[in-house]
Amino acid sequence: MNKLIYTCLLAMATSLLSCDKATVKPEIITLQISDRRQDCVGVGPQQCMLVKEKDDTGWKLFYEGIDGFAYEEGFEYKLMVRRETIENPPMDGSSFQYTLVELVEKVKK
């Protein structure tokens, strides 16, 4: 009986420790947003923003939105955003949530 209790306690402790490791703190990143969108396919056909992070050399499709940011075509943006990991994302969705922290630059192209 003691062995069973010990095994259960060990399993619970391991479970709690692994949950703690899965928790990722939000990070602040800088994104450059292109002045145009591009056709892309996520759940269905849509228009994706084109973005570059710090060390990117080319534009990448950005399927998500950014909470608090209203995109206007014809402007290139530099944004500081908070990127948070979504613990249980939907199968067809992103594992990140993005929130505008600061609009650093908005340039008409």
Examine the pLDDT at 49 and tell me if it is beyond 90.
yes
> What pLDDT is stored for residue 41 in this prediction?
92
Best-predicted range by mean pLDDT (14-23, 49-58, 68-77, 87-96): 68-77
Domain boundaries, the chain: 24-108
DSSP 27-71: EEEEEEEEEEEEEEESSSEEEEEEEE-TT-SS-EEE-S--BT---
> What pLDDT is stored for residue 17 in this prediction?
43
Examine the pLDDT at 4 and tell me if it is beyond 50.
no
pTM above 0.85, yes or no: no
